[in-house]
Amino acid sequence: MDSGEKTTVLNRPLLSTRFEVIKVLGDGAAGVVYHAKDKFRAGREVALKVLTNSKAFDDKTIERFREEMRISREIRHPNLVEAYELLSLDDTIAFSMEYVPGSDLAKLFRKKKFSGEQVDLIYDQLLGALEELHSHAVLHRDIKLENILLREDGTIKLSDLGLMKQYKKELTATGVILGTAHYLPPEYVREGKYDVRSEIYVLGTMLFEMVTGRRWLTELSGNKVIEHLIKTNFAFPLESLIDVDKKFRRILERSVCYKPSDRFQNVAEMRRAFAGIGTELKPIGERETLEPRVIFNSRINANVRNQPRKSSWRRLLLEMTWLLGVLLMVGIIIYLLKDFSGKLSLNR
């Protein structure tokens, strides 16, 4: 590591006397994350996040990071990165957290395509972590391959909780869109709304990447991504799904609907779908609440969409039964009229 990368720690005595930097794990616009040893904790290896660029954040940004630490310390789950300690410095803040040896899914993605079994294992753990967050009324709001760490033993850890918020506590400035543009759901871009079902949409976008081996809209950046999403009505390239396993295709379809009410309504539902249990996953074309702007509406499911719904068969059966009943009654009336007419003729 060169001296420039060490400067952030070395220039701050409160950090340099306590932490021995091993390497840089990540360097972003607002700060740096280090792999370090905490000399005050018997040399425990930690991930040390330090906010460095005062121009890249304001009071609300610092408040979000403080909130990340508070929530991370209160909510414990084997698939969430554990938070250790918040450190207040003269000009910024830093905090230490669990160091996860291994790699994030984005780096692994560049090397190979994930198998169906790996996708199932990753999502089972990821959805378990999110279920725990959501049970505490906390949204992650920045789920992506880069923020999912895979340990050497196969355990995944959801990290980077800096954009988390509780349902009833908004920490972002009005009119400011936070999160990774490529993963933003329609309701957030258009109306600024974000809830559990928005996280389902993001999980669907990430699933698209994992099962197709293709990163979503990486050829675009910033506002260009938003412009593309709005222009295309948040549509996905359906031709990429032809060779995708039927189970994953159905989960994808259910996850990335334009209308939140058409998606899985919580991560527990999505988790059951990955396990292959619970209610049958109906193709989007069969769902009665379908909106004209739903993303998936393709030839892939044309054969299914053209089949009559069960409710239509029931109505047809009832109508046929009713018609047969009417015909029977008409027949009986005709028979009785003929019989009555015959008896009347004999009496004459």
Say which DSSP state 193 is in.
-
Contact status, residue 308 vs residue 317, Cβ threshold 8 Å: no
Q: Is 142 a catalytic residue?
A: yes
Which residue is it, tokens 């904790």? 41
* φ and ψ at residue 76, rounded to 5 degrees: -115, 135
Rounded to the nearest 10 degrees, how much is the dihedral formed by the CA atoms of 114, 261, 164, 141? Answer: 40
Q: Give the span between the Cα atoms of 125 and 121, in whole angstroms.
A: 6
Contact status, residue 109 vs residue 209, Cβ threshold 8 Å: yes
Pure H helices in the chain: 3-10, 13-16, 59-74, 105-111, 116-135, 186-191, 196-212, 223-231, 246-255, 267-275, 302-305, 310-347
Write the CA distances from 33 to 4, 49, 328, 339, integer angstroms.
14, 4, 82, 98
Contact status, residue 52 vs residue 61, Cβ threshold 8 Å: no
Q: At what angle do helices 267-275 and 246-255 cross, to 10 degrees?
A: 170
Q: At what angle do helices 267-275 and 196-212 cross, to 10 degrees?
A: 30
Task: Give Cα 347 distance to the centre of its chain.
Answer: 85
The single residue of 2, 27, 104, 142 carrying the catalytic annotation is 142
* φ and ψ at residue 85, rounded to 5 degrees: -150, 140
Q: Give the span between the Cα atoms of 255 and 262, in whole angstroms.
A: 8
Q: Is the dihedral of CA 185, 186, 190, 192 positive or negative?
A: negative
Residues annotated as part of the active site: 142
